[in-house]
Amino acid sequence: MTKKLTAAVIGGGVIGGGWAARFLLNGWDVRIFDPDPEAERKIGEVLGNARHALPMLYDYAMPAEGALTFQETVAETVEGADWIQESVPERLDIKHKVYAEIQGACDAAAIIGSSTSGYKPSELQEGAARPGQIMVCHPFNPVYLLPLIEVVATDASDAATVDRACGMLTSVGLYPLRVRKEIDAHIADRFLEAVWREALWLVKDGIATTEEIDNAIRYGFGIRWAQMGLFETYRVAGGEAGMKHFIDQFGPCLKWPWTKLMDVPDLTDELAQMIADQSDAQSGHLTIRQLERKRDGNLIAMMRALKQQGNASGRLLNEHEKTMRPTLEAGTPMLSLRRTIPVDWTDVNGHMNEGRYGQIFSDASEEVMAYVGADDAYIAGGLSYFTVETTTKYLAETHAGEAVEVHSRVTEGKGKKLRCLHEMRRASDGEVMATCDQFMLHVSLETRRTCDPSPQVQKNVERLAALHSEGS
Amino acid sequence: MTKKLTAAVIGGGVIGGGWAARFLLNGWDVRIFDPDPEAERKIGEVLGNARHALPMLYDYAMPAEGALTFQETVAETVEGADWIQESVPERLDIKHKVYAEIQGACDAAAIIGSSTSGYKPSELQEGAARPGQIMVCHPFNPVYLLPLIEVVATDASDAATVDRACGMLTSVGLYPLRVRKEIDAHIADRFLEAVWREALWLVKDGIATTEEIDNAIRYGFGIRWAQMGLFETYRVAGGEAGMKHFIDQFGPCLKWPWTKLMDVPDLTDELAQMIADQSDAQSGHLTIRQLERKRDGNLIAMMRALKQQGNASGRLLNEHEKTMRPTLEAGTPMLSLRRTIPVDWTDVNGHMNEGRYGQIFSDASEEVMAYVGADDAYIAGGLSYFTVETTTKYLAETHAGEAVEVHSRVTEGKGKKLRCLHEMRRASDGEVMATCDQFMLHVSLETRRTCDPSPQVQKNVERLAALHSEGS
């Protein structure tokens, strides 16, 4: 058993609360100091969000939560702590005063990280008893979900201490990005500031509203950046001609007067080559074709995730998909579903995970339900069918990219009972890949208990069961 | 049956090929003109990617593909076409020449869209026979997956024609963003250019490498932007104090010398109020708490999607999760899995979809397999167990956020056969929520046929089956 670690969080709010949640949910003990009389409530709200959200990221249970305490003084908070995170207001005089209090009581080996986005570590270290103990550890909201931490140290910092800090951040699921030289606003906020300035111009000049700007970002480059960032995206766009060639093409653009943000570096051959070399080191182990497939796989999986949430580009997919929904015809069996297997449905064995068969048969039964009148409006009205038992036979392997069809028969349809027999076939050759015997009961969504269907649904189910028993 | 539509794609490459794929896979006929002798091969590669990727976005089959032809002249290509998309090189003289050829042969009612990122529509329309027919329709790579199209028209454009163009774009799953006034580089590329210029400084000054910059984007604000963009993200960050208050705080930053990109608008009270009003119109129907939950749901679902792909922030999650994987102990039954139900596992009935029970039991059986020695290394060595039949009973509803445990017994373990009986219980009160009788066969991953397990795995399975039959 490793020693239980303790984090001291100085300054609460959304950022301090996010840090507290990260440590606490990863099993650390957490002590908080925040003079705000509302601190406990505010941090409690962040913790509530975090307890709901962070464990959902993982396919295993997280460690048992550590102990959380609120302290009266900085000294009590930091004494013996392994990590001290400062998230007080962005005023240098306040930060210096807080560091003096912290260093008066904390272990010399403890890490003191600052959440500052505005100050360089050399500024934070000024006048400190042990300047090398203080470093920038700049997080991104929500801290309990996003992994990025910009770690910025100075020549006064001990390299082994910075290494140790990065190891501790990694151990709570964060990604320490070590910034090579200190610079105002570190790295990410420089981009945010550049975009922010451009966005202010666009709103001011009446080119676009805030919503249009958000759409211009999230329906296009935003989702690209979420998985590859800037340079790897351009590497793929550049294609086989290579990164150097692609970068050289940008030269003329930098002279264009298309933005008011105009102080740009000279794109010398040396700079273009430096970028190309760094890009090779980063992504050169994959061909452009492999990078394209990786990019597309990421985009598909993320857009499908947003589709399930019904938000952003996923909302657009749901709208467009309505035009593809077929009208079922009462055959024996009925063709209840046609679809392609997406990349995010395969597992460690290289084929579709058995859970996804369940989803396909569930989707097929939704179509059958809609056919008998238990459609979206019926469900919105408080009635539905719940599956109570399935027996599934997996007869052939199914792979991403394959088109499949489900053929369904209603084999029982009396009162509350609805039983379907589904067959999933490969569309190209009709081979049966799996079957599912699915038994459902009609329920009230209010009481969550069984009840009779509406007379119309009941009649339709009986008619379909009769038709399908004739054909069997 | 609506009339089958025809698109003419003038100029191939990655962008023209992407447009061709969009139309073709949505059932349009597509004619292509591209003088490049390699055009057919190049467009074929883009089409190959698109045919693989685009149908995976949807949970229904897409329409049957239209017919694809390559033409010898612009006139043949555009005659009678409903949509003409120009993606020729970014030189105004070339574009003007192409428009003259197009308008000499196309219907007056056809839409002529240009993929240009560099020219304004008024520049494109100069000297045209029917200037109002030409508009900017600027896509984002990969065009077959990303929905954003910046639509920019001029006073010469007929509003009804632009409306009709937007309707046609929407019908193939694209999102037309109408830019209110023409401006160099439209909207999104102005942001890309601002970030690009800042990135060049960072690389040149040795602050960060291309890979570090990509990580600074994709592990932090990139994934935020993929779902909410810039302003809605800041609205959430601003919290209950409101957007106006939040914007006002930015004022001083704009004076800071932290970037070399320095020509910034004055953040007047009027501009701050305009932004706040637009933000209210955009997101004011949701409280900050609701927006936080929406943001977190999106982030969780996207990060889990990347986790499944093993890329970007999902790769970090997989690494971190290894520290959470428990060592199984041979009890009767075994505690094979503990986890929290994520937000992306629920369905139209407001509870966990039956498919996800299948995934949980599959995950549980993977842990049992690992326990008997059929672990990742064993699978990498070419042997595994495949599930051939499951019977699942759904006993209680399961909701997002609930912690569950799976208890497993090996009920048969002879030769190639492995049978497990799993029980999923709510962690808080031990209630059995579902059971699964899972029958597996040992297979060679090379032949994809059944074969005997290794002697060690066989011995371990038999031992576990004996232990679990004693306890039953």
Would you call B288 an interface residue with chain A, using a CB distance cutoff of 8 Å?
no
Query: What domain range includes position A392?
Result: 325-471
A52 and A152, same structural domain? yes
A251 in any annotated domain: yes
Q: If DSSP codes are grouped into helix, strand and coil, which group holds residue B115?
A: coil
A120 and A168, same structural domain? yes
Stated as kind and residue range, the H or E segment containing A440 is strand A432-444
Identity of the residue in B208, B317, B344 whose CB atom sits nearest the CB atom of A187? B208
Would you call A241 an interface residue with chain B, using a CB distance cutoff of 8 Å?
no
Identify the DSSP state of A184.
T
Q: What local confidence, expressed as pLDDT, does residue B265 receive? A: 67
Identity of the residue in B147, B294, B311 whose CB atom sits nearest the CB atom of A298? B311
* Inter-chain residue contact B296 with A386, CB threshold 8 Å: no
Residues of chain A with pLDDT under 50: 1
Identity of the residue in B145, B188, B211 whose CB atom sits nearest the CB atom of A216? B188
A315 in any annotated domain: no
Would you call B156 an interface residue with chain A, using a CB distance cutoff of 8 Å?
no
Task: State percent of chain B over pLDDT 90.
Answer: 74
A384 in any annotated domain: yes
What's the burial of B153, exposed, middle or buried (CB within 10 Å: 0-12/13-18/19+)? buried
A299 in any annotated domain: no
Q: Give yes or no for residue B21 having a pLDDT over 90.
A: yes
Would you call A89 an interface residue with chain B, using a CB distance cutoff of 8 Å?
no
The pLDDT tens digits for B81-137 are 999 999 999 999 999 999 999 999 999 999 999 999 989 999 999 999 999 999 999
Query: How far is it, in rounded angstroms, from Cα A386 to Cα A393?
Result: 21
User: Which residues on adjacent β-strands are paired with residue A315?
Assistant: none
* Inter-chain residue contact A321 with B58, CB threshold 8 Å: yes
Residue B13 in marked binding region: yes
* Inter-chain residue contact A393 with B393, CB threshold 8 Å: no
Q: What local confidence, expressed as pLDDT, does residue A132 receive? A: 95
B148 and B19, same structural domain? yes
Query: How far is it, in rounded angstroms, from Cα A312 to Cα B170?
Result: 15
CA of B289, closest CA in chain A: separation in Å?
A: 9
Q: What local confidence, expressed as pLDDT, does residue B1 receive? A: 45
Instruction: Name the residue with higher pLDDT: B412 or A194.
Output: B412
A155 and A97, same structural domain? yes
Query: How far is it, in rounded angstroms, from Cα A151 to Cα B212?
Result: 12
Query: How far is it, in rounded angstroms, from Cα A307 to Cα B298?
Result: 10
Would you call B360 an interface residue with chain A, using a CB distance cutoff of 8 Å?
yes
Say if residue A453 is preceded by a cis peptide, omega within 30 of 0. Answer: no
Query: How far is it, in rounded angstroms, from Cα B249 to Cα A204?
Result: 17
Q: Which residues of A are annotated as a binding site for NAD(+)?
A: 11-16
Q: Which of B218, B365, B369, B402 to mutate to test the interface with A (most CBs of A within 10 A)?
A: B218
For chain B, what is the domain count?
A: 3
B167 and B28, same structural domain? yes
Contacts of A305 in chain B (CB under 8 A): 298, 301-302, 304-305, 344
Would you call B130 an interface residue with chain A, using a CB distance cutoff of 8 Å?
no
Contacts of A57 in chain B (CB under 8 A): 300, 303-304, 307, 317, 342
pTM of the entire structure?
A: 0.91
B452 in any annotated domain: yes
Would you call A253 an interface residue with chain B, using a CB distance cutoff of 8 Å?
yes
Helix B188-204 with A188-204: angle, nearest 10 deg = 150
Closest residue, chain A, to B256 (C-alpha): A184
Q: Which residues of A are annotated as a binding site?
A: 11-16
Last residue of some domain: B152, B178, B204? B178
Query: How far is it, in rounded angstroms, from Cα B444 to Cα B448?
Result: 5
Would you call A373 an interface residue with chain B, using a CB distance cutoff of 8 Å?
no
Would you call B435 an interface residue with chain A, using a CB distance cutoff of 8 Å?
no
CATH number for the domain that contains residue A137: 3.40.50.720
Q: How many CB atoms sit inside 10 A of residue A249's CB?
A: 13
CATH number for the domain that contains residue A389: 3.10.129.10
Would you call B432 an interface residue with chain A, using a CB distance cutoff of 8 Å?
no
The pLDDT tens digits for A2-12 are 679 999 999 98
Query: How far is it, in rounded angstroms, from Cα A221 to Cα B222?
Result: 9
B428 and B384, same structural domain? yes
Contacts of A258 in chain B (CB under 8 A): 183-185, 190, 193
Last residue of some domain: A124, A148, A178? A178
**DSSP assignments along B69-117, one per residue:** EE-SSHHHHHTT-SEEEE---S-HHHHHHHHHHHHTTS-TTSEEEE--S
Query: How far is it, in rounded angstroms, from Cα A13 to Cα A19?
Result: 10
CB A306 within 8 A of CB B301: yes
Identity of the residue in A198, A215, A358 whose CB atom sits nearest the CB atom of B229? A215
Say if residue B252 is preceded by a cis peptide, omega within 30 of 0. Answer: no
* Inter-chain residue contact B296 with A52, CB threshold 8 Å: yes
Residue B14 in marked binding region: yes
Query: How far is it, in rounded angstroms, from Cα B288 to Cα A49?
Result: 12
B144 and B193, same structural domain? no
Contacts of A325 in chain B (CB under 8 A): 60
Closest residue, chain A, to B55 (C-alpha): A340
pLDDT band at residue B264 using 50, 70 and 90 as cut-offs: low
Say if residue A342 is preceded by a cis peptide, omega within 30 of 0. Answer: no
Would you call A78 an interface residue with chain B, using a CB distance cutoff of 8 Å?
no
pLDDT band at residue B336 using 50, 70 and 90 as cut-offs: very high
* Inter-chain residue contact A204 with B271, CB threshold 8 Å: yes
CA of B457, closest CA in chain A: separation in Å?
A: 18
A347 and A210, same structural domain? no
* Inter-chain residue contact A210 with B278, CB threshold 8 Å: yes
B82 and B56, same structural domain? yes
* Inter-chain residue contact B230 with A195, CB threshold 8 Å: yes
Closest residue, chain B, to A249 (C-alpha): B90
Would you call A92 an interface residue with chain B, using a CB distance cutoff of 8 Å?
no
Would you call B369 an interface residue with chain A, using a CB distance cutoff of 8 Å?
no
B192 and B168, same structural domain? no
Would you call B3 an interface residue with chain A, using a CB distance cutoff of 8 Å?
no
* Inter-chain residue contact B60 with A339, CB threshold 8 Å: yes
Would you call A265 an interface residue with chain B, using a CB distance cutoff of 8 Å?
yes
Last residue of some domain: B253, B277, B294? B294
The pLDDT tens digits for B206-263 are 999 999 999 999 999 999 999 988 888 888 887 777 778 777 776 666 665 555 566 6
CB B153 within 8 A of CB B165: no
Instruction: Tell me the count of A-B CB pairs closer than 8 A.
Output: 576
Average pLDDT of every residue of chain B: 91
B130 and B65, same structural domain? yes
A320 in any annotated domain: no
Would you call B411 an interface residue with chain A, using a CB distance cutoff of 8 Å?
no
* Inter-chain residue contact B348 with A379, CB threshold 8 Å: yes
B26 and B120, same structural domain? yes
A380 in any annotated domain: yes
A70 in any annotated domain: yes
Would you call A432 an interface residue with chain B, using a CB distance cutoff of 8 Å?
no
Surface of A (183-202) touching B: CB under 8 A = 183-185, 187-188, 190-202
Token pair, residue A350, equals: 């290289």
**DSSP assignments along B394-460, one per residue:** E-S---TT-EEEEEEEEEE-STTEEEEEEEEEETTT--EEEEEEEEEEEEETTT-SB-PPPHHHHHH
